[in-house]
Each structure stands twice: as structure tokens, then as C-alpha cells.
A = this chain, B = another copy of it.
């Protein structure tokens, strides 16, 4: 399919680089200030080299991408809160043109799910957003497979930065500030880590899961959020004395969405370490299902985007296929 990639951060760049390998053609790429498009296919390597050298992927205006030739718009611009603009506007424009949309941007799905459903209802285009929760983890597809109405709760470790900090604090007995600085040096934490350590990012993912399970109705305003930066210095030691550890858990149940540090047994399923994510579904008939994997990273998240692109086709209704790896 022809893909237009809005956003040229880690995820957007990885989607553009991997698209060919997944059998797709990138017909447009935009970063925050520039764009390039070609209905016969953009030279991705050239465009991204241009970006790294001159700071611009191309000569055109980013918004112009929305009017370019494409089957699927990949919305990979940075997540914004409030009205989730400009992401929401990009998605709306594509849907009004009856194009499909795959989001890596959490904003529109967490903050304006109901508006999104309304716009999608009037469009021939479909909307998917696997990449918004848990990076490489197939969170949304698994919930859909279980049947949202048969899932009683979803919870997990959905922010790799906070989890890296907590697991390092416990493993090395180091203080929060020390580990945060280390994480920043490693590029695991942003210069401004508030979005991750205050629980906002994990809460957005909890809200998205709640919207999937309930068919919408939730925004960040419905989430009770507590981060990890005010965690008492000795909390991890006290936990360790009882064979427990602390993880930042996001949870969506039928009656609440909450994010906060929780005590979990060491070596238990939820106690993933480093930047790993884990998502746990409680189901009506199938017990508990756990999925762990890389919750972030360009190629990891791009693979979730490209899996969504494949799900847009109906040619996958038979599991029996021929041909080889």
C-alpha cells in the first residue's frame, strides 16, 4: 500500500525505512517543518539523509502531505494533550478523504476517542492504533481477539523509562536522581522526564486501553495518576525485605483508570526489568493472559504500525498460507 508518514522522529523514520520490506511504498514523509512527496514513491534514504544533514526531509510544507497520494496515513507526530492537535486534524483530513489511518500518536486516541469514532463512522477509511500502547506488544489486537466485552481488566508496566529507573534503583540501591541522570545519559529518559516519571505517558496508555475495552468515553481527566518521583527513598528497601518490589502499574478496569507505584512480588510476572513492558488481561473465560516485550524503540514501534497496516486488508482471514520465511 501507499503510505504517507507524518512525523519523522524515531518511529516515523523507522516506519519509512521498514515500509519497503513489508511490501509498501512511502509516497510522502513530513517532519515538523518540511515534507516531500511523490506518488511513485519517495526515496526514503535520500529524504532521511537530507534531514540529518540539513534538518529538512524535503522542500515542501508538512501539511501538504495530507493532500498527497496515499492509501494509509501514518500519524507519528509527537503526542499532545488537550485537544490532541495537530494530530487529530491530520487524522480527520485523511478520514474525510476516505483514507485509512494508523496512529502511533497517543493524543487523539486517549483525548478524543469519541470524536475519532464519529469522524471514522462517516468515512470509508479505518483507524488503527496498535503502536500507541506497549510498543511491540500487540495490546490492541489481543484485546480485539479476546473480545473487549470479555476482558474484565487490563493492567501492566507500560512506561519503559519509569521501569528502567525503578529496576535500577532496586538492583543497585541507587537514589532516584542518580538513576535518572544515568537514564538520561543512556537516552532512556528525556531531558525533561516529567511525562514519563509523573505517570502521564502510562496514564494515556491506560486511557486508550479503557477506550478499547469500553468503546470510548474516557480521557486523561478520568485517570487517577501518581508518578514515581515522590517515591520514598526507602520504599524499595522496605519492599525488598518482604520479597517484593515496586512497579509503576497502569490499570483499566470497568470502573476506574489509575496509574501509580504498586508493590508486586519480585520475580512475579509484572516485575519486568529495564525498559521491558508487560500487559496483563483478566478475562471472563480464558483466565489471565500476559504479554511482554519491548515497549519502545523506533523499529519495535514501527513493527506495530506496519502490523496495523496489514490488518487493514481482509486477505488475512485464512491462517493457511503457502510460501516461506
Contact = CB atoms under 8 A, between A and B. Distances in A.
A136 B286 CA distance: 6
A284 to B, nearest CB: 8
A248 to B, nearest CB: 20
Contact of A303 (B18, B285, B310): B285
Question: What is the oligomeric copy number?
Answer: 2
A186 interface: no
Contacts of A290: 290-293
Contacts of A90: none
Contact of A319 (B129, B135, B136, B299): B129
Given A138-B142, A142-B138, A117 B320 contact: yes
Given A311-B317, A318-B126, A318-B127, A293 B288 contact: yes
Given A141-B145, A286-B303, A303-B286, A216 B291 contact: no
A165 B304 CA distance: 37
Contact of A286 (B293, B310, B324): B293
A157 interface: no
Interface residues of A, number: 72
Contact of A145 (B299, B300, B307): B307
Contacts of A237: none
A312 B320 CA distance: 13
Contact of A149 (B147, B151, B267, B325): B325
The 5 closest A-B pairs by CB, nearest first: A136-B286, A126-B318, A314-B314, A267-B267, A215-B323
Given A138-B145, A313-B317, 8 more contacts: A138-B142, A141-B141, A141-B142, A152-B325, A215-B324, A215-B325, A216-B322, A286-B293
Interface of A: 18, 22, 113-114, 116-117, 120, 126-130, 135-138, 140-142, 144-152, 212-217, 254, 267, 269, 283, 285-294, 297, 299-300, 302-304, 306-308, 310-314, 316-325
